[in-house]
């Protein structure tokens, strides 16, 4: 289950491809990782898997916060380690 | 030291700057200005490709672009004039003189020994000393009078090659030894001919070779000593967490910025660790330009710096660090971020090893390393407790300082990290 691109939004909000947004934020920060993103397991710890450091982490989170229009407090970082966790988190806050 | 006098009074040449102690040549891959453009101090002039990355180079004078002096893609030596500009102040008579080609070749070919001869220290030529910006070369505090007159570039070259400046005949202003004089002695004339230099590409392998060369030199020439000290970063973590909790994500600060501030404040106090080893002595620098080793995923690393990090706020340091990392990873570093570093930090991050015994980046005097933060038993007032501990290490040049001074330097760094509210 690697994409939610076509899922309608239950609350009737505009449909946003959250996974695509997450992957594109990572690709923005680390363009050289783009080829790997297609095969990325969405339930694996992406920071470890992709060897993203704290600067990359902040850069990705900043992009996601900006694009989703909501802040991501530092205390939530520990439970935002996979693509699917990030997707659920960002969708829940819509 | 203004080469415009050699041309005529209305024009001056912008020279290919050295974008690091290890850069001898580069190539312009893109112009960021056009002929006729009026440029101002700080404007981006061109993108220069070096072995390490593509770098935006800036100008430090106002002027009007007259003509380009090199071709896109042409491999040229550091110090080669690349753009001719007309002074803004000289607008009146500039048009005619600037158009007269007789006094100046329109495209000075860089001869083997002439490339630096026209302007030995390129940074000094285009960038007058200015306290508000990073000095391109570590600035000597005192003691320059008694020495052989020589450009900073020549001093560095001579130091790198183990040559005594007093034995070299200078051909620069007032007989000063310039880079070309050193190179003439140190290398066969043909060796530096830019036109015969082989085509090179910026590959991980060539960056590896560059790092290999620099680190070998550092190990060969610098008698290192290494010190370590464990630092309790519990207070820092708590302080940062509370500070960041009240701020939007774009204003949050990472521990790395705190490390830069702590080292900068300590280096400002312990000046003997901030600067360069030139000839046979340490030259402390006035500005504290803290370089940060940033690893690149394709391999290798770059070390751009935060200039005057001792005089910036923590937020400003964080902002610049964000810029540096993004630029390093996208290959768009600016020249002014790469030249004039006075001390370097290597930070292994939270997935790295416990501590690092670093190698100094020549001609600097010290490198400060930080290992990962780990929870360790820690004794506070006869009680064993668990605290997050980071091991800070110092690699310093034993020619310049001794272990006792190094210990005090590390203690000052630890003190700043243990009192984060003052960062």
Alpha carbons B88 and B93: distance in angstroms, whole number = 11
Q: Is the pLDDT of residue B238 over 90?
A: yes
Helix, strand, coil percent content, chain B, rounded in steps of 5:
35, 25, 40
The pLDDT of residue A16 is 65
Q: Compute the average pLDDT of residues B33-48.
A: 85
ipTM: 0.78
Selected residues 84-123 of chain B with any CB under 8 Å from a CB in chain A: none
CA distance B351 to chain A (A): 8
Q: Is the pLDDT of residue B282 over 60?
A: yes
Collapsed DSSP state (helix, strand, coil) of residue A52: coil
Domains of chain B with CATH codes: 4-126+135-196 (2.40.50.100), 204-422 (3.30.559.10)
What pLDDT, in 10s, does the model give residues B195-226?
323 323 356 777 788 888 889 999 999 999 99
Collapsed DSSP state (helix, strand, coil) of residue B391: strand
B309 or B20: which carries more pLDDT confidence? B309
CB B84 within 8 A of CB B361: no
**Residue A78 forms contact with B (CB below 8 Å):** no
CB B376 within 8 A of CB B386: yes
Alpha carbons A86 and B213: distance in angstroms, whole number = 43
Nearest CA in chain B to A61: B249
The pLDDT of residue B92 is 43
The pLDDT of residue B306 is 96
CB contact under 8 A, A58 and B249: yes
Q: Compute the average pLDDT of residues B60-86.
A: 86
Joined tokens for residue B415 = 């003190």
**Residue B247 forms contact with A (CB below 8 Å):** no
B102 or B15: which carries more pLDDT confidence? B15
The pLDDT of residue B18 is 78
B interface mutation test: which of A48, A54, A55, A64 has the most B CBs within 10 A?
A55
CB contact under 8 A, A53 and B351: yes
Q: Compute the average pLDDT of residues B283-290.
A: 96
CB contact under 8 A, A65 and B249: yes
The residue among B305, B351, B6, B18 whose CA lies nearest residue B153 is: B18
Nearest CA in chain A to B294: A55
Candidate from A30, A62, A74 with C-beta closest to B244: A74
With beta carbons under 8 A apart, name residues in chain B contacting A46.
none
Alpha carbons B341 and B136: distance in angstroms, whole number = 8
Candidate from A32, A61, A65 with C-beta closest to B297: A32
**Angle, helix A54-68 to helix A83-92, in steps of 10 degrees:** 30
Alpha carbons B390 and B369: distance in angstroms, whole number = 10
- CATH assignment of A18-92? 1.10.1200
Q: Is the pLDDT of residue B166 over 50?
A: yes
With beta carbons under 8 A apart, name residues in chain B contacting A71.
248-249
E strand or H helix that includes residue B186: helix B179-186
Q: Is the pLDDT of residue B126 over 60?
A: no
Contacts of A24 (CB under 8 A, 6+ apart): none
With beta carbons under 8 A apart, name residues in chain A contacting B326.
29, 59
A interface mutation test: which of B240, B296, B297 has the most A CBs within 10 A?
B297
pLDDT category at B332 given cuts 50, 70, 90 is confident
A to B CB pairs, distance under 8 Å: 48
Helices marked H in B270-422 — which ranges? Answer: 314-330, 335-338, 403-418
Q: Is the pLDDT of residue B151 over 50?
A: yes
pTM of the model: 0.64
Q: What is the DSSP letter of B147?
A: S
**Residue A69 forms contact with B (CB below 8 Å):** no
Q: Compute the average pLDDT of residues B87-102.
A: 47
CB atoms within 10 A of CB A56: 20
The pLDDT of residue B110 is 39
What pLDDT, in 10s, does the model give residues A1-56?
444 444 455 555 555 688 999 999 999 888 888 888 888 999 999 998 888 888 89
Q: Is the pLDDT of residue B90 over 80?
A: no
The pLDDT of residue B262 is 98
What is the end-to-end Cα distance of chain B in Å, rounded? 39
Joined tokens for residue B359 = 């190698």
The pLDDT of residue B357 is 95
């Amino acid at each position: 289950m690697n994409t939610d691109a076509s899922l309608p939004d239950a609350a009737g909000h505009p449909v946003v491809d959250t996974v695509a947004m997450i992957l594109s934020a990572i690709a923005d920060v680390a363009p050289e990782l783009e080829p790997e993103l297609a095969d990325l397991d969405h339930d694996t710890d992406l920071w470890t898997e992709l060897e993203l450091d704290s600067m990359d982490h902040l850069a990705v989170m900043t992009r996601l916060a900006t694009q989703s229009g909501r802040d991501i407090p530092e205390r939530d970082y520990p439970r935002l380690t996979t693509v699917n966790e990030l997707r659920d988190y960002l969708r829940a806050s819509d | 030291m203004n080469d415009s006098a050699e041309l005529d009074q209305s024009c001056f040449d912008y020279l290919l700057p050295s974008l690091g102690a290890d850069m001898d040549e580069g190539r312009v891959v893109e112009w960021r200005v056009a002929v006729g453009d009026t440029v101002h101090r700080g404007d981006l002039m061109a993108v220069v490709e070096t072995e390490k990355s593509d770098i935006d180079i800036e100008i430090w004078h106002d002027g009007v672009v007259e003509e380009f002096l090199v071709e896109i893609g042409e491999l040229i030596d550091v110090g080669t004039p690349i753009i001719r500009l007309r002074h803004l102040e000289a607008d009146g008579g500039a048009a005619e003189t600037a158009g007269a080609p007789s006094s100046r070749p329109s495209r000075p070919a860089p001869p083997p020994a002439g490339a630096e001869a026209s302007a030995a220290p390129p940074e000094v030529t285009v960038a007058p000393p200015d306290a508000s910006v990073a000095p391109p070369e570590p600035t000597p505090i005192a003691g320059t009078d008694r020495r052989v007159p020589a450009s900073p570039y020549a001093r560095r070259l001579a130091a790198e090659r183990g040559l005594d400046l007093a034995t070299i005949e200078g051909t620069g202003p007032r007989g000063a030894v310039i880079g070309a004089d050193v190179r003439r002695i140190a290398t066969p004339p043909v060796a530096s001919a830019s036109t015969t230099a082989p085509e090179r590409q910026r590959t991980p392998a060539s960056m590896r070779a560059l790092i290999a060369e620099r680190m070998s030199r550092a190990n060969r020439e610098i008698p290192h000593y290494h010190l370590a000290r464990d630092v309790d970063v519990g207070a820092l973590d708590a302080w940062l967490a509370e500070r960041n909790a009240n701020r939007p994500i774009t204003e949050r600060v990472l521990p790395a910025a705190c490390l830069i501030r702590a080292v900068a404040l300590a280096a400002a106090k312990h000046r003997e660790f901030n600067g360069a080893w030139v000839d046979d002595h340490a030259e402390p620098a006035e500005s504290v330009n803290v370089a940060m080793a940033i690893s690149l995923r394709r391999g290798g690393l770059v070390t751009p710096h935060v200039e005057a990090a001792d005089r910036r706020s923590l937020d400003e340091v964080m902002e610049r660090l964000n810029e540096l990392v993004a630029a390093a990873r996208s290959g768009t570093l600016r020249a002014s971020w790469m030249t004039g570093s006075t001390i370097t930090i290597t930070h292994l991050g939270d997935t790295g090893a416990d501590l690092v015994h670093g190698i100094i980046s020549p001609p600097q005097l010290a490198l400060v390393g930080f290992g990962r933060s780990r929870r360790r038993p820690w004794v506070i007032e006869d009680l064993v407790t668990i605290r997050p501990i980071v091991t800070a290490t110092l690699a310093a040049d034993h020619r310049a300082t001794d272990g006792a001074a190094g210990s005090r330097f590390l203690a000052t760094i630890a003190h700043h990290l243990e009192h984060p509210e003052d960062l």
